[in-house]
Amino acid sequence: MSVVSPFILCGGAGTRLWPLSREAFPKQFQKIAGDETLFQQTCRRVSGGFFSAPFVLSNQKHRFLISDQLQDIGVEDATIVLEPAGRNTAPATCIASLIAERADPDSFVLLLPSDHIISDPAAFVASIEIGLAAAKEGALVTFGVEPDCPHTGYGYIETEKANSADLPVLRFVEKPSREVAEKYLESGGFYWNSGIFLFRAATMLKLMESLAPEILATSRQALSDATEDLSFLRLGDVYADAPDISFDYAIVEKTSNIRCVPLSTSWSDLGSWSAVWNQMEKDETGNAVYGEGKNEIMFADTTGSYAYSDHGCVALVGLDNVVVVATEDAVLVASKDSAESVKDVVTRLNANGQTHALYHNRIHRPWGWYQTLNRGDRYQVKRIMVKPGGILSLQSHYHRSEHWVVVRGTLEVTKGDHVELLCENQSTYIPVGSRHRLANLGRIPAYLIEIQSGAYLDEDDIVRYEDAYQRSSNE
C-alpha cells in the first residue's frame, strides 16, 4: 500500500461561528460537535493504516494550541509547520508537496482542512483508497459530497455521469444562487466541493512548475531556509513573498486531469451556526443545546433552535428557528436563516477596534491560561491555571504590582533570587519591577487568583528575561 502523507491546513479564523470562534482560538480548536475538537477529530481520521504521521500547516500564534491538542489525543509524531505569514492555500499546497517529496519521492499528499465534520471515518478512508488509484496515474483527485439540498454556501463540482468510482471533473462552480443550485440537484452529476485533495507529490510539483513557477521557487527557498524551533518547523521569511492565491485559482481551475471521488459519508464544513444545528441531536421540538452550561439552557414555546452556553442560565421563550450563543463576554442572537451573516458582525467589531472578535475572556498560553474576573480603576483580578510542567517566563512589570493566592495545587514561585513553594491558601506579593516566575512542578493543574494594582494593567507591560517557550515579547 502506498504511503499517504496527510497535510492538515489549520489557519482559518472561523468568523461565521462567532462568538465561540475567535481569531486567537478559532473553531477548529473548539469542541463544537463532540468530546474532541474539530482539529483532533481530523487528526484521528488520518491516523494509522496507510497514512504517515500527520503534518500540520499553521501560523505562529496557534502553534502551542496545536501542540497541546495533539498531545491530548496521544499524537506525538506530528510535524507542525509554521508560516511566517498566511499566503492562502496555493503556497501551502506547494510546501506540502515539497516536504512529502523530500521524505519519499513516491509519496502521496492528502490535503485537507482541519475544521470539517465527517460522520463515518471508515467510509472516509475507503474513499481515499479509491482515489489512490487515480492519483497513481497522475490525476489530481478531489472528493465531492452528494448534495441533499440546494445549498448556496458551498462550491460545486460538475462531473461526467460515468459509471465509475472516480468521475472525470468537467468544471468547478463558485457558490451559486438558490435557483441555480436547484437546477444542479435536478440535473444530477453535481457534488459539493469538500476542499479535500489527493495527489502524488511529484505530480503537484510539475503542475506548480508549469502553472505557478513563482510559488514553487519561493516555497523551495522558504523550505531551504526553514529552522527548527522547539518542536516546530519554521519556514523561511521569504515565504511571505509568495503570491497570495488559492489552490483552486492557481492550479485546480487550470488543470484538466482531475477526478472526483464521491464521499460515502455525511459531511459538513460547519460554516454557520445553522450548519452546527444540523449536526446536533435534537429534542422532539427540534431544539439542540451544547456547551458547559447546557444543563442550564431552557426552552419554552420554542422550536427548531440552537442554544450554546459556557456559563450561566439561558432561556429561549416564544422563538422559532433561532441561534443563541452565550459566552462570558459576548452573546449572539440570530435567525438561523441569517446565520451566515455573523461574519459581518466580526467585520464591524474589527473596524471599530473592539477585541471581541480576537480574544475570548479566557486567554490560552503554552503554560495554561488566564481569565479576567474583574477590572476597574487601577486594579484587575485574574484567575490563572498553570498546567503540570507549565512554567511562566521570568519577567517583571514597570507599572503594576501583583498579589498571588494559590487556591489549588502547589506552585514554585521565584521572586528575585528567592525561590519558594506555595500551597493552597498561601499567598505572596510581587512588587513593581521585581523579577518573578511561576512553575507547576506537580502532576495536577494549579490554580491561583492574581490581583494586579497599578497605573497601567495591559498585557504589553511585560519584560521577559527567560522563556521556556521561546516566545516574543508580545506573545
The full DSSP string for 314-356 is EEEES-BSEEEEE-SS-EEEEEGGGGGGHHHHHHHHHHTT-GG
Query: Residue written as cell 495527489?
Result: 199
Residue 372: CB atoms within 10 A of its CB come to: 17
* The C-alpha cell that represents 451 in the structure block: 490581583
Domains of the chain, earliest start first? 4-268 (3.90.550.10), 273-347 (no CATH), 362-466 (2.60.120.10)
Q: Is the pLDDT of residue 222 over 80?
A: yes
DSSP 25: B
User: Taking a C-beta distance cutoff of 8 angstroms, is the pair 141, 259 a contact?
Assistant: yes
Residue 374's pLDDT band (cuts 50, 70, 90): very high
Average predicted confidence (pLDDT) for the chain? 93
One-letter amino acid identity for 323?
Answer: V
Please give the pLDDT value at position 394. Answer: 96
Q: How far apart are CA 317 and CA 319, in angstroms?
A: 6
User: Taking a C-beta distance cutoff of 8 angstroms, is the pair 54, 10 a contact?
Assistant: no
Residue 475's pLDDT band (cuts 50, 70, 90): confident
Instruction: Determine the average pLDDT of the residues in 281-307.
Output: 94
The pTM of the full predicted model, rounded to 2 decimals, is 0.92
Do strands 368-376 and 379-386 pair parallel, antiparallel, or not at all (unpaired)?
A: antiparallel
Residue 68: closest CA among 27, 44, 40: 40
User: Taking a C-beta distance cutoff of 8 angstroms, is the pair 56, 79 a contact?
Assistant: yes
Residue 88: CB atoms within 10 A of its CB come to: 18
Residue 142: closest CA among 253, 42, 52, 56: 253
Q: Is the pLDDT of residue 11 over 90?
A: no
Q: Is the pLDDT of residue 229 over 90?
A: no
Q: Is the pLDDT of residue 44 over 80?
A: yes
Query: Residue written as cell 489530481?
Result: 140
Q: How far apart are CA 200 and CA 97, in angstroms?
A: 8
Residue 1's pLDDT band (cuts 50, 70, 90): low
DSSP 209: H
Lowest mean pLDDT among 162-176, 203-217, 360-374, 399-413: 162-176
Please give the pLDDT value at position 340. Answer: 82
Q: Is the pLDDT of residue 231 over 90?
A: no
Residue 349's pLDDT band (cuts 50, 70, 90): very high
Residue 473's pLDDT band (cuts 50, 70, 90): low
Please give the pLDDT value at position 2. Answer: 76
User: Taking a C-beta distance cutoff of 8 angstroms, is the pair 181, 150 a contact?
Assistant: yes
Cβ neighbours for 149, distance < 8 A, ≥ 6 positions apart: 185
Instruction: Determine the average pLDDT of the residues in 296-300.
Output: 96
Instruction: Determine the average pLDDT of the residues in 208-226.
Output: 97
Instruction: Determine the average pLDDT of the residues in 392-400.
Output: 96
Please give the pLDDT value at position 223. Answer: 97
